[in-house]
Amino acid sequence: MRLSLISVVIAIALQLVACGDVYNNPYTSVSDDKIIYYSHFQEPPKHLDPAISYASDESLFISQIYEPPLGYHFLKRPYVLKTMAASEVPEITPLNADMEKVEEGSDQIAFTRFTIRIEPELRYQPHPAFAKKSDGSPLYIFENAASSENFKVIADFPETSSRLVHANDFIYQIKRLADPKNKSPMLGFMAQYIVGMREFSQQLGKIERNGWVNLDNHDMEGLEVIDDNTYSILINGSYPQFTYWLALHFFAPVPPEVDQFFHNPGFKEKNLTLDWYPVGTGAFMMTKNDPNSQIVLERNPNFRLEYYPKEGEEGDRELGYLEDAGKQIPFVDKAIFSLEKELLPMWTKFLQGYYDRSGEGHSNTHKFFDQAFVIGPNGLEMSEEMKSHDLTVTTESKPGTHYYGFNMLDPVLGGYTEERRKLRQALSIAFNIEDEIDIFHKGTSLPAHSPIPPGIPGYLEGEEGINPYVYDWVDGAPKRKPIEHAKKLLAEAGYPNGREAKTGKPLTIYLDVQARATTPDKQDWQRQQFEKLGVQLEFRSTDWNRFREKLLTGNTQIYTHGWLADYPDPENFLFLLYSPESPLICKCDGANNSNYANDEYDALFEKMRVMEPSPEREAIVAQMLDILRRDAVWMTGYHPLDNYLNNPWLFNAKRHGISKTFLKYVRVDSELRRQKRADWNQPVIWPVVTLGIFVILLFIPAVRAYRRRQNMTIH
Amino acid sequence: MKIVVLWSDALIFLLVAVIATFFWNMRKDKILTERWRQVFSSRLGMVAFVVIASYILIALLDSLHFRKALEPVEGQPADQVFYENRATSVLDVLMGDMADENERTYSAPFSLKSFEKVNMKADDGSSIRDFPPLVHAGKHLDDPADKPADIVKQTFIALIIAIVVCAFWIGPQWYFLRNSELPWKSAWIAQAVIILVFVWLIYVGNLYHVLGTDKAGNDVLYKSIKGIRTGVLLGTLATLVMLPIAVTLGVCAGYFKGWVDDIVQYLYTTLSSIPGILLIAASVLLFQVYIDLNPDFFTIGLQKADARFVGLCFILGVTSWATLCRLVRAETLKISQLEYVQAAHAFGVSNYRIIKRHILPNLTHIILITFVLDFSALVLAEAVLSYIGVGVDPAMTSWGNMINEAREELSQEPAIWWTLAGAFFFMFTLVLAANLFSDLVRDAFDPKTVDGGAKA
Amino acid sequence: MFAYIVRRLIYAIPILIGVNLLTFVLFFVVNSPEDMARSQLGEKYVTAEAIENWKKENGYDKPLFFNESNKGLSSVTETIFYTKSVRLFMLDFGQSESGRDITADVAQRMWPSLALALPTFAIGIWTNICVALLVVMFRGTALDRGAVVLFVGLMSISYLFYIIGGQYLIAKMWRLVPISGFDASIHAWKFLILPIVIGVISGIGAGARWYRTLFLEVSHQDYIRTARSKGLSEITILFKHVLPNALIPILTGVVVVIPLLFMGSLVMESFFGIPGLGSYMLDSIERQDFAVVRSMVFIGSILYIIGLILTDISYTWADPRVRLN
């Protein structure tokens, strides 16, 4: 005890000598002449290859580096697409079976051609893969693993170079999606749409491989390079949503030389892969990738001229989001992301000023603050300590829905009879999602009245947007119907007081949840919701794999699930209940886990799917939502609403629900940060000093006792 | 009312029966009785034993489960009774309404108000935002300002009840044992203190939330007390489960030698060379999958959690099995070399009889020491396993689960410390008592220390 | 000696096969290759085609233990178990399910683990021995009894409390060190000091108590009494006579864990964000990355066996009467 305490004292004394006035700065060896953005990530990214990655944690990095043809406007809401790598909006040409141009909306459409013109001045970041010998052949191509032995990480290659983006690089990447070796999650889905993708994939699967396969030597039917800056993609039938897909990193350019470079012999064994070291055209490039502790992005010197947007959503000017309008971006030179798995250190570092904002992928505020951070009726409430930090708040409404779904095939709750509908409606009323939001999300979510979240066309504010089977419109706000109404419905459904009318047997309902998504206190609370009706609730919580299996085989009763949109179109939500998407019908990992099958709904869906946005389309969507509410396919749900806290030196921190391309827009006041960090991190030394003195005091009696013992005589 | 016997309930009572028979048989054995006398002749041993015994008593009371009947409704056949889908234990009954006195969410110890503001309507109809009063805590008070005085008053009442209980509980003991030379006085004082503490906790705990409430508004004191069963059962059942395997294999290896020995050695080296945590994680997942795939075996949720719990005990037993097996094997090897065992062999006494008569009785001290030593280690291990996510079912109250929740609560602003405090207090007391007791048991039974002590 | 080590190493092979078999059984009962494919491919738009493709590319499209469609030897070799474990024995760990090279990862993550585990281990032993000697010096006094109670008290506190409490007080309230993180440079000490201090303090209870018993046993020996009767000072006796003689049990108890230090500490590393092998293991359990779990179990078993052999060798070294044959 004594010695370890001394070692603490010594160590801390050493620290006193070693650094300045702040001891807990987690950043070492960082030069001050650059403007740095400090942040963190919760999960180490598994994939950074734009053909493979499909997780939101990963898009935090990928979106800063890769540029697909289209992107989203940083400020405007509802979400608006803008050009990114493309120089203009893709040209869409409907074609008939003979490849002749036809009218839009014609029933002869057999194919659609997307023609994309790219920005002519688009350049890649400096990278060794572009370095050339004097004869023009690539410099870093090795015969065998031994000759590249000295290169361990990407920074070990001294020579780098760059080049302009060619239209073929986009085509090359689409071929990479099709290459079975890359195991792209998009392969199966995109093969339904892109002409020739499936055949191409099968053809590649058959060839002999030894090292790099140049995909340029293999042709894919639906892709065509028209000139250096133009290419086209041919789609089966009509699929207007494909434009949105062009805003995802799957369609960003990947140059063949980079692919070749990373297929050098022995590179994979050193984890030198495209999956680890992205190469893009975006505002930033990755200069350090140690996903187990730190990832560093630096400004791409070859980034084209781009300016901060001049217009935004209503209210953006007041929030200061337009102060930098028209200035050249990016504002920061470097971004340091540190791995932070645990929440206590994450919050502590944020409040100590070592992270510029409270989260990247998810804000976590609702999990963490009680009195400190609550969304009340008067807006936001913060604790005194947090107020003293002058934090600002950014709210992000994610285009997503978390829901409790009924399995429509379930013998007790499923089915389409009036009784079953009433039963489900009764449960919907009893399950007070507003309470769940208050208790478990600190008030930072919106109760869902339909699958469609705010910000997506089809979401309606006000009275016409409420679910009339669960809510009443009272005094200008939705009000949950009284529990008596639910009891009445339940009695009409054949379960008075929660007991089966004939036998008196209590109605027991099973909630299928994923074990990690639930906690005992949440289960307690959920049980209480049904107790209000006298209905018993049991939990079948399982691990993710088993949960997935139950969904795929239709072995659920009530399940919880969530959906985050890939693009801002109601189709991306309404397809969740389209009957061919039911796993039992399509024999695939379909998304209609409720196994809902309603012919009327399906017909409307098929109609709206191929329509361009228009009032008629919105009318159809409204009609579809009405059907869903009447059938009560989903018990209830909420739309996540995240609040991110920003330290006072961070500007332009607006959040975009879909796109994560934010880094080039944010601005940091380094001087203010330096001051605040010094203010907030004054160490408390007295406990250590007291402890040291206490230990020294302990020594005195010990030494005396020892002396006495030494001089003791035996009688 | 319908009695529910969980697997772990059955096992714990089996264990109690085994231990009781063990002691009953032991009473004739002079040496063993003498050694136990040595354990209990120290005051510390007495106190530690009393603490452990009270924990075990609580665990046993919490292991008698039943389901309450639901009120019959109209149209229900008269002979048909339906039951609640949760199990209640005798302990729950003894603790009064603590289980059902749920608040909405967090509240601090002894607080009358919630920890979280909500929107309320003021008397004049305007909407205000404030900490709402708790539903259950202090509802007997007319004026919240009376709280301090009331706590003193209630404490006084609890004290009187406790003294009465003590008189009935300790009085007979005193009458029968007053002439014993063992330090019973310490035991009585310890018992009195424990009774006092528990009576006070339960009595006042029914009026206030002594340790506050957790996120879902459950009483933390109630949870901490419910955690006792999980801790005690895990500590004992894991050993119970592995004991037969370890002893059988160890004795076989040491006695028969040859290929049997090779196989047993191979088994335990293999098992112990797998990093324990990975083995536990994989096995717990395995159990969980089995439970998930057979939901029909379990009528109520508690049974599922219990199945996983028994599985966890089993797998913890398996991982700690190797050590005991090694010890038993070594000891058997030594004993079977002794002359009288060799002589028994020469006389043609059957192997079974030799093992039963000569070997097993000489292994008791090893088993006993392992049992008490492992106990506290297992209780502590549960917390770490829960942190990694492979501990007991999250639905089952345990100190490990509480600590796990508390980790996040501590980083809140202001920090919520009472869950951690509750788990810490109850866990620390048990482990400390167990450690002290196991020290004494080891001193008394381990031949090494017995000799060493004699020399000193 | 050499022959002995070789024999022990050969004996290790069936153990490693057994370990491997057990991991396979445990993991594949829980997770089918489909499950693994799904968890790697994500949640959205997964098609049966993609799953089949993933299995094929990662070598999970074969039967688990026995291939009925093949004859002769290949019915055993054309299986997941055979193809995956043979490579392990060549110490070729291959790639994780997400496509990273495991050997490279292990080589990289070993150092942070060691940087934490070695100092904790060394300082821990040193502290424990010092404290124990100090206590033994006062044996039989109230100080000794008090210390023993304190030790038992310290060891009755769950490891998690030390970590949670230490992190909360020292890093959050007093702001003396960074609360978590790691730096692969010379600055690593800044991040390591808190976990090391916590690791050492949490080990004092059990450690010092154990060493105290050892020292007491030795100090009851006759030669110590002789030394004492010669009038040697207590300190001389402790350091010259008691400590060297107690080294044998200390050494043999300690050697077995040294190789396992490589594996790092699961809980410590994840609390303090140290990117070592402990957190690697935890991550792979969470992600159900079977390739990594399998490799880590294999490495762990090898290290354990090395530990056993080292213990035997250290016996001969510490006690000349012991011979290996």
**A439:B73 CB<8 A:** no
The mean pLDDT value for B252-257 works out to 88
pLDDT at A15: 54
**B80:A504 CB<8 A:** yes
pLDDT digits (tens, 9 = 90+) for B102-155: 887 788 898 888 887 776 766 776 667 778 888 888 888 888 888 889 999 999
- Whether the pLDDT of residue A365 is over 80: the answer is no
Tell me whether residue C103 is in a domain.
Answer: no
**CB neighbours of A557 closer than 8 A, spacing ≥ 6?**
A406, A407, A410, A412, A413, A509, A510, A511, A512
pLDDT at A377: 52
Rounded to whole angstroms, the Cα distance separating A39 from A58 reads 14
How many Å is the Cα radius of gyration of chain C? 25
Phi-psi region of A595 (alpha: psi -120 to 50; beta: other; left: phi over 0): left
Nearest to B292 by CA among A525, A512, A590: A512
Tell me whether residue C96 is in a domain.
Answer: no
Rounded to whole angstroms, the Cα distance separating C83 from C77 reads 7
Residues of chain B with Cβ-Cβ distance to A366 below 8 Å are none
Q: What's the Cα-to-Cα distance from B410 to each of A24, A614, B226, B402, B407, rounded to whole Å?
A: 20, 51, 22, 12, 5
B64, two tokens: 């008698």
pLDDT digits (tens, 9 = 90+) for A601-637: 999 999 998 888 889 999 999 999 999 999 999 999 9
CATH number, domain containing residue C272:
1.10.3720.10
Tell me whether residue C100 is in a domain.
Answer: no
A319, two tokens: 């929030």
**A371:B115 CB<8 A:** yes
Considering the domain architecture, whether residues C210 and C119 belong to the same structural domain is answered as yes
Residue C293, judged by CB atoms within 10 A of its CB (0-12, 13-18, 19+), counts as buried
Q: How many CB atoms lie within 10 A of CB C322?
A: 13
Considering the domain architecture, whether residues C55 and C123 belong to the same structural domain is answered as no
Q: Which of the listed residues C39, C58, C90 is the one where a domain comes to its end?
A: C90
Determine the angle formed by the axes of helices B301-336 and B258-273, rounding to 10 degrees. 130
The mean pLDDT value for B413-425 works out to 87
The mean pLDDT value for A417-434 works out to 93
Considering the domain architecture, whether residues C243 and C126 belong to the same structural domain is answered as yes
Taking the Cβ of residue C162 and every Cβ of chain B, the question of whether any pair is shorter than 8 Å is answered with no
Label residue A373 by pLDDT band (50, 70, 90).
Answer: low
Domain A41-299, CATH: 3.40.190.10
Say what the ipTM of the complex is: 0.85
Task: Please give the interface size between B and C, counted as residue pairs whose CB atoms are below 8 Å apart.
Answer: 104
Which range has the worst mean pLDDT, A671-685, B22-36, B190-204, C111-125?
A: B22-36
Residues in chain B: 456
- Whole domain around residue C37: which residue ranges? 2-90
Task: Work out how many domains chain C is built from and give that number.
Answer: 2
Considering the domain architecture, whether residues C309 and C171 belong to the same structural domain is answered as yes
Which range has the worst mean pLDDT, A35-49, A653-667, C58-72?
A: C58-72
pLDDT at A714: 57
Taking the Cβ of residue C285 and every Cβ of chain B, the question of whether any pair is shorter than 8 Å is answered with yes
The mean pLDDT value for C6-31 works out to 85
Label residue B456 by pLDDT band (50, 70, 90).
Answer: very low
Most confident residue range from A12-26, A130-144, B89-103: A130-144
Query: Letter for the amino acid at A691?
Result: L
For residue A385, the cross-strand partners are: none
pLDDT digits (tens, 9 = 90+) for A201-254: 999 988 888 889 999 999 999 999 999 999 999 999 988 899 999 999 999 999
Query: Best interface-test mutation with B: which of C32, C161, C295 has the largest number of B CBs within 10 A?
Result: C161
Alpha helices in C138-242 (DSSP H): 142-155, 159-166, 188-219, 222-229, 234-236
Query: Best interface-test mutation with C: which of B284, B387, B441 has the largest number of C CBs within 10 A?
Result: B387
The H or E element containing residue B354 is helix B351-354
- Whether the pLDDT of residue C63 is over 90: the answer is no
Rounded to whole angstroms, the Cα distance separating B100 from B410 reads 26
pLDDT at A50: 94
Residues of chain C with Cβ-Cβ distance to A268 below 8 Å are 95, 101
The mean pLDDT value for B280-308 works out to 81
Considering the domain architecture, whether residues C170 and C301 belong to the same structural domain is answered as yes
**B118:A542 CB<8 A:** no
The mean pLDDT value for C7-24 works out to 87
Taking the Cβ of residue C29 and every Cβ of chain B, the question of whether any pair is shorter than 8 Å is answered with yes
Between A3, A29, A293, which is nearest C131 by CB? A3
Mean pLDDT of chain B: 85
CA distance A371 to chain B (A): 6
Considering the domain architecture, whether residues C27 and C121 belong to the same structural domain is answered as no
The mean pLDDT value for C90-112 works out to 86
Residue of chain A with shortest Cα separation from B131: A371
CA distance C50 to chain A (A): 6
Residue of chain C with shortest Cα separation from B408: C164
CA distance C32 to chain B (A): 12
Determine the angle formed by the axes of helices A483-492 and A418-430, rounding to 10 degrees. 160
pLDDT at A216: 92
The mean pLDDT value for A158-165 works out to 93
- Whether the pLDDT of residue A710 is over 80: the answer is no
Rounded to whole angstroms, the Cα distance separating A84 from B293 reads 49
Considering the domain architecture, whether residues C19 and C137 belong to the same structural domain is answered as no
In three-state secondary structure terms, C17 is: helix
Those chains having 3 or more beta-carbon pairs within 8 angstroms of chain C are: A, B
**CB neighbours of B426 closer than 8 A, spacing ≥ 6?**
B224, B225, B227, B228, B231, B399
Tell me whether residue C104 is in a domain.
Answer: no
**CB neighbours of B374 closer than 8 A, spacing ≥ 6?**
B235, B238, B239, B320
Considering the domain architecture, whether residues C34 and C153 belong to the same structural domain is answered as no
Considering the domain architecture, whether residues C115 and C210 belong to the same structural domain is answered as yes
Query: Best interface-test mutation with B: which of C10, C31, C88, C156 has the largest number of B CBs within 10 A?
Result: C156
DSSP annotation of B412 reads: S
Residue of chain C with shortest Cα separation from B449: C217
- Whether the pLDDT of residue C282 is over 70: the answer is yes
Domain A400-642 coded CATH 3.10.105.10: yes
Rounded to whole angstroms, the Cα distance separating C181 from B79 reads 65
Query: Best interface-test mutation with B: which of A441, A541, A542 has the largest number of B CBs within 10 A?
Result: A541
The H or E element containing residue A560 is strand A558-564
Tell me whether residue C208 is in a domain.
Answer: yes
pLDDT at A375: 57
pLDDT digits (tens, 9 = 90+) for C183-202: 888 888 889 999 999 999 99
The mean pLDDT value for B62-84 works out to 80
Considering the domain architecture, whether residues C40 and C154 belong to the same structural domain is answered as no
Rounded to whole angstroms, the Cα distance separating B380 from A521 reads 23
pLDDT digits (tens, 9 = 90+) for A117-152: 999 989 999 999 999 999 988 999 998 888 888 888
Rounded to whole angstroms, the Cα distance separating A455 from A399 reads 7
Tell me whether residue C143 is in a domain.
Answer: yes
Q: What's the Cα-to-Cα distance from C115 to each of B71, C112, C202, rounded to whole Å?
A: 64, 5, 18
Buried b (16+ CB within 10 A) or exposed e, B268-300: bbbbbbbbbbbbbbbbbbbbbbebbeebeebeb
Considering the domain architecture, whether residues C206 and C292 belong to the same structural domain is answered as yes
CA distance C114 to chain B (A): 17
Query: Letter for the amino acid at C133?
Result: L
> In chain B, how long is the greatest CA-to-CA distance?
100
Residues of chain C with Cβ-Cβ distance to A242 below 8 Å are none
Q: How many CB atoms lie within 10 A of CB C231?
A: 7
Considering the domain architecture, whether residues C50 and C17 belong to the same structural domain is answered as yes
pLDDT digits (tens, 9 = 90+) for A436-471: 887 787 777 889 999 999 989 889 988 889 999 999
CA distance A545 to chain B (A): 9
Residue of chain B with shortest Cα separation from C292: B278
The mean pLDDT value for C231-254 works out to 81
